Structure 1
């Protein structure tokens, strides 16, 4: 499937979280499709997948290689960093955990390695010095491959100019929460944007046509270097910037409908 986005824009990649979910069989996956072929099928319908399994435990290097080999050129995986790294009281002590993760085979994905999502518990509040120490620990490359980092912060204390400025200094993206109970921080802080939208319902397509149109327009704005006026920011307003790659995932909500919503967004952004 061709990537979304025009030459004057960043690339827009749209997908879902994971690819193994029994209710998708017969709804997203054709009836009778072998489970071993589900990733290849999903990669032919979508342009990105966020891997959740890396949050819960380490994966073998051979698994990353297999995922690389089973997907087409241009497809991208984003990875969740391990919970053992982010679910700790003192983030400044996370260095060894970060190193184990980034040297544990993720570079086998090669050009298909997208940003790493460092997700924090909703109870984790913003402690400026400790969070700055954590961002300083994030490596910029591994095995000759540039690493891109994003943080998913879910405590209201992060919705402040000091946090936005800190993320911008480190070139780390702040993940934008959409249709979600978490604070929305859409400020541009990195050369790419990362969104997780969570509002699908039991309707056939997950989102109605108006919602698809709104999120597609927002994705195009971001790809062109603008911040959509209807997304909330927490920092000092910024002028339009250069084009940015955009990673948008339909996550949570009514999970059964997420692939349909992602496909509808891909069509709307084409």
Structure 2
């Protein structure tokens, strides 16, 4: 089993070409992290490895599927684009933990 690495950065100081080049040089994915509660985190959507890793932290407790259908459609479209170039690991890990399984199931249904 080949070991792969993903780098999750939470400071805007990493939003630089130098960091992107370094990640690509070593084949490390840069985690795509989307968090409504931390908009200052960099949302880096770059291909630096042969896989994508996404941490989706935007589910809401008052939404039965964690996100609206339109929001899930956008994530499905993005995930499909990533999958054309390699494996995709996408996780719903928002503070609305009770909704994360429903969000994942809804995304799977949209991707099927």
TM bucket by the smaller chain?
over 0.9
The alignment status of 1:210 with 2:75, answered yes or no, reads no
Which residue of structure 2 aligns with residue 255 of structure 1?
97
1:197 positional shift: 0.7
SS at match of 1:206: coil
SS at match of 2:55: strand
Once the two structures are superposed, the pairs formed by residues 148-227 of structure 1 within 5 Å of their partners are 148-180=4-36, 181=38, 182-202=41-61, 203-224=63-84
**Runs of 5+ unmatched residues, structure 2:** none
- How well do the aligned residues superpose, as a CA RMSD in angstroms? 0.9
Secondary structure of the residue aligned to 1:197 is strand
SS of residue matched to 1:147? coil
Unaligned runs of 5+ in 1: 1-144, 225-242
Counterparts of 1:56-95 in structure 2, within 5 Å, are: none
In 2, the alpha carbon distance for the partners of 1:195 and 1:253 equals 16
Q: How many residue pairs end up in the alignment?
A: 108
Tell me the TM-score normalized by structure 1. Answer: 0.39
* CA deviation map 1:23-81 (0-9, x unaligned): xxxxxxxxxxxxxxxxxxxxxxxxxxxxxxxxxxxxxxxxxxxxxxxxxxxxxxxxxxx
